[in-house]
């Protein structure tokens, strides 16, 4: 009982320390140099918000975050805070400015740290990280990730998105930007409206890919019990699979063509369009590709 009370007290002290003692506000204004180094847990979270300019994360082997940069001319305040779980950086700009002067930020972060960043027009890049998660969101900036985290979530409106590395869970979304992914596997969801989507993946257990007018070009393998869904409106779907890929294939297009090395397509019996339904081997994988007016191509590698 006494021991239990003692542990609780220690826990309470630890919480108080983490809440009060580790909050270290940093402040800078327009034109000032930003240079700060803070300790965080190796698997802590580094979160950055920056309207314009750039944000660059580079992993290193220290349990510290180093933040460097120069505040843009329209910056009202730079807030850098630390808690027990990580570090946050916010670049606050004055409102009403006709043009925001961007702030370029350069951060060194622990290799196992998770990373979050949100920008409007700032480009974001990450390299060397293998933390739990990387979550990046921008409007017109480009996203570039060369890393091997456990999970990525990349969102852009008009910027391009590039990933290279190894990741078992990924969600990528853009509107008019292009998506290029190399090295994702297991669970992948990616969508774009007018940009093209290009993917070189490993074995996929759950894959969902959606384009509207862009093309979908993919090279991957579907796991034995995997599910692959490819949807396009007017863009083409070009899928390259291992020669020995087994599974159930379904493809349909209303006004486009279907070319497949796995089964043959035929006219839909009770309506417009062409359809392919085919079982290859005994595998339980389900592979589906549908377009409204684009073509579907399913080829053996």
Is 173 a binder of other proteins (CB under 8 A)? yes
Report the C-alpha gap between 157 and 176 in whole angstroms: 6
Figure out which of the listed residues 58, 63, 175, 182 binds other proteins, where binding follows CB under 8 A: 175
**134 vs 221, which CB is nearer to other proteins?**
134
**87 vs 220, which CB is nearer to other proteins?**
87
Figure out which of the listed residues 26, 63, 64, 81 binds other proteins, where binding follows CB under 8 A: 81
Minimum Å gap between C-beta 301 and other proteins is 28
**47 vs 182, which CB is nearer to other proteins?**
47
Is 155 a binder of other proteins (CB under 8 A)? yes
Q: What is the DSSP string of the chain?
A: -HHHHHHHHHHHHHHHIIIIIT---EEE-TT-EEEEEEE--TT-EEEEEESSEEEEEEEESSSEEEEEEE--TTEEEEEEEEETTEEEEEEEEPTT-SSPPPEEEEEEEETT-EEEEEESS-EEEEES--SSEEEEE-SSS-EEEEE--SEEEEE-SSS-EEEEEEEEEEEEE-SSS-EEEEEEEEEEEEEESSS-EEEEEEEEEEEEEEESSS-EEEEEEEEEEEEEEEEESSS-EEEEE-TT--EEEEEEESSS-EEESSS-EEE-TTSSSEEEEEEETT---EEEEEESSS-EEEEE-
Figure out which of the listed residues 151, 205, 278, 288 binds other proteins, where binding follows CB under 8 A: 151
Figure out which of the listed residues 28, 36, 50, 223 binds other proteins, where binding follows CB under 8 A: 50
Residues across the chain = 301
Binders of other proteins among 8-27, rule CB under 8 A?
19, 23, 25
**222 vs 241, which CB is nearer to other proteins?**
222
**127 vs 234, which CB is nearer to other proteins?**
234
Report the C-alpha gap between 273 and 292 in whole angstroms: 9
Binders of other proteins among 210-249, rule CB under 8 A?
210, 212-213, 231, 233-234
Figure out which of the listed residues 28, 91, 201, 296 binds other proteins, where binding follows CB under 8 A: 91
Q: Which residues bind other proteins (CB under 8 A)?
A: 19, 23, 25, 45, 47, 49-52, 76-77, 79, 81, 83, 85-86, 88, 90-95, 98, 100, 114, 116, 118, 120-121, 133, 137, 139-140, 151, 153, 155, 157-158, 173, 175-177, 187, 191, 193-194, 206, 210, 212-213, 231, 233-234, 252, 254, 268, 271-273, 290, 292-293
């Amino acid at each position: 009982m006494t021991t239990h009370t003692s542990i609780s007290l220690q826990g309470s002290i630890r919480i108080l320390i983490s809440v009060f003692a580790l909050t270290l506000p940093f402040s800078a204004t327009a034109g000032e140099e930003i240079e700060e180094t803070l300790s965080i847990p190796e698997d802590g979270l580094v979160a950055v918000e920056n309207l314009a300019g750039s944000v660059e994360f580079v992993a290193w082997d220290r349990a510290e975050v180093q933040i460097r940069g120069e505040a843009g001319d329209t910056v009202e305040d730079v807030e850098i805070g630390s808690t027990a779980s990580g570090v946050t950086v916010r670049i606050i700009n004055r409102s009403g400015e006709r043009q925001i002067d961007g702030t370029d930020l350069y951060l060194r972060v622990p290799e196992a740290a998770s990373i979050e960043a949100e920008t409007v027009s700032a480009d974001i890049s990450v390299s060397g990280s293998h933390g739990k998660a990387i979550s990046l969101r921008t409007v017109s900036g480009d996203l570039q990730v060369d890393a091997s985290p456990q999970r990525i979530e990349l969102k852009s409106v008009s910027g391009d998105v590039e990933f290279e590395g190894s990741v078992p869970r990924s969600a990528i979304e853009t509107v008019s930007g292009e998506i290029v992914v190399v090295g994702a596997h297991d669970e992948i969801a990616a969508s774009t409206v007018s940009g093209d989507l290009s993917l070189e993946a490993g074995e996929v257990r759950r894959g969902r890919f959606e384009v509207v007018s862009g093309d979908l070009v993919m090279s991957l393998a579907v796991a034995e019990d995997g599910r692959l869904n490819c949807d396009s409106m007017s863009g083409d779907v070009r899928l390259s699979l291992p020669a020995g890929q087994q599974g159930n294939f379904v493809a349909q297009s209303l006004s486009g063509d279907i070319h497949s090395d796995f089964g043959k397509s035929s006219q839909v019996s009770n309506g417009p369009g062409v359809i392919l339904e085919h079982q290859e081997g005994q595998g339980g994988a389900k592979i589906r590709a549908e377009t409204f007016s684009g073509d579907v191509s399913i080829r053996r590698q």
